[in-house]
């Protein structure tokens, strides 16, 4: 038997959570959802620009949006979000849009095709003839190879960025030959057909949110000799010095050693909100049994 290094997620359910704390947690979940929706609307509005950004550039760009006071009002952010919450929101939105951005980038490229090989049926059939006759109905499969030219590269650039004041030499030669109006009409048609498939921004509905502990104390601790078995301490807006303490249930066989969940002042967590209670999800490293050697 062999073991494989793994990461486990464990849930800590709240225990006798005070209504005032529950309302505080739920209110933050609702506020963070508004921020997530606002960032989703911005990403949808500037989707072509986001297609050209790496993940790092996207996070840097959207962080600038909330740091610029003029942009905050335009974006409709409901409150000043601490960085340990906003960074998680940025990643969530980027991850949700990643498939859409990849599809748009892939479809926005103009390419030409040429036939590389034609495969024919080798035997006669009542509805087709074998490939020895080389008729249309004897074709089984056609293989293509796509490639780019200066023309396709030029139209791709115009589709992504629109008309510009200056162009690279190869683009200028293509524009002089075919005309900017003709090329822009083709590029605009391509762009409109692609974006028409994504008319609305991604809609987030869950109040679940992620954060990162900035406290030096352990994120989860056992509460001995008490009805409350344990408690989780989370970084919280307005409670930066001591955080928000949430009473939780603890089972040694399920949760294991609580020290395994702590990573100093850089422990990530997830808060899932349900009716009248919350669930804090933490991760820890462990081993998983694999197959036989």
Model confidence over 97-115: pLDDT tens digits?
999 999 998 998 888 888 8
- Mean pLDDT in residue range 6-20: 87
Interval 144-161: pLDDT, tens = 888 889 999 999 989 888
Q: Grade residue 258 by pLDDT with cuts at 50, 70 and 90.
A: confident
What is residue 175's predicted lDDT score, i.e. its pLDDT? 92
- Please give the distance of CA 197 from its chain centroid, rounded to a whole number: 19
What is residue 205's predicted lDDT score, i.e. its pLDDT? 92
- Mean pLDDT in residue range 257-261: 84
Q: Which residues contact 100 (CB under 8 A, 6 or more apart)?
A: 47, 198, 202
**251: pLDDT strictly greater than 80:** yes
Of 218 and 40, which is predicted with more confidence?
40
**129: pLDDT strictly greater than 70:** no
Rounded (10°) angle between helices 180-195 and 150-161: 60
**1: pLDDT strictly greater than 70:** no
**127: pLDDT strictly greater than 70:** no
Q: What are phi and psi of 130, to 5 degrees?
A: -70, 165
Interval 174-190: pLDDT, tens = 999 999 999 999 999 99
What is residue 223's predicted lDDT score, i.e. its pLDDT? 76
What is residue 4's predicted lDDT score, i.e. its pLDDT? 66
- Mean pLDDT in residue range 4-31: 87
**12: pLDDT strictly greater than 80:** yes
Q: Which residues contact 64 (CB under 8 A, 6 or more apart)?
A: 71
% of the chain residues with pLDDT over 70: 84
What is residue 92's predicted lDDT score, i.e. its pLDDT? 92
What is residue 264's predicted lDDT score, i.e. its pLDDT? 72
Of 74 and 63, which is predicted with more confidence?
63
What is residue 160's predicted lDDT score, i.e. its pLDDT? 86
Query: Cα–Cα distances in Å, from 290 out to 1, 256, 285?
Result: 6, 21, 16
Sheet of 267-274, strand order? 3-13, 277-289, 267-274, 209-213
Side-chain-facing half-sphere of 60: CA atoms under 13 Å: 5
- Mean pLDDT in residue range 262-279: 86
Answer for the pair 290, 1: CB distance below 8 angstroms, yes or no.
yes
Rg (CA), the chain: 28
Lowest mean pLDDT among 34-48, 65-79, 91-105, 134-148: 65-79
| pTM, to two decimals | 0.77
What's the mean pLDDT when you consider all of the chain? 83
Question: How many helices (DSSP H) and strands (DSSP E) are in the chain?
Answer: 9, 9
- Mean pLDDT in residue range 19-26: 92
Q: Grade residue 263 by pLDDT with cuts at 50, 70 and 90.
A: confident
């Amino acid at each position: 038997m062999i073991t494989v290094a793994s990461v486990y997620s464990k849930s800590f359910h709240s225990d006798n959570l005070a209504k005032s704390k529950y309302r505080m947690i739920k209110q933050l979940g609702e506020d963070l959802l508004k921020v997530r929706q606002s960032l989703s609307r911005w990403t949808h509005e500037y989707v072509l620009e986001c297609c050209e950004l790496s993940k790092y550039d996207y996070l840097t760009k959207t962080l600038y949006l909330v740091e610029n006071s003029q942009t905050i009002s335009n974006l409709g952010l409901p409150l000043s979000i601490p960085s340990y919450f906003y960074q998680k929101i940025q990643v969530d939105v980027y991850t949700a849009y990643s498939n859409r951005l990849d599809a748009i980038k892939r479809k926005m490229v103009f390419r030409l095709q040429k036939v590389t090989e034609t495969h024919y049926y080798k035997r006669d059939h009542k509805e087709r003839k074998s490939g020895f006759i080389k008729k249309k109905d004897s074709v089984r499969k056609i293989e293509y190879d796509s490639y780019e030219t200066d023309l396709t590269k030029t139209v791709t650039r115009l589709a992504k960025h629109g008309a510009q004041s200056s162009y690279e030499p190869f683009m200028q030669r293509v524009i002089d030959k075919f005309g900017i109006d003709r090329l822009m009409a083709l590029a605009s048609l391509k762009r409109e057909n692609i974006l028409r498939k994504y008319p609305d921004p991604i809609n987030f509905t869950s109040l679940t949110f992620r954060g990162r502990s900035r406290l030096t104390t352990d994120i989860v601790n056992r509460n001995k000799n008490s009805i409350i078995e344990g408690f989780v301490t989370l970084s919280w807006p307005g409670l930066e010095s001591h955080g928000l303490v949430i009473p939780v249930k603890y089972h040694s066989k399920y949760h294991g050693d609580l020290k395994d969940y702590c990573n100093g002042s850089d422990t990530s967590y997830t808060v899932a909100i349900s009716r009248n209670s919350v669930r804090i999800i933490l991760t820890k490293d462990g081993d998983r049994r694999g197959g036989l050697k």
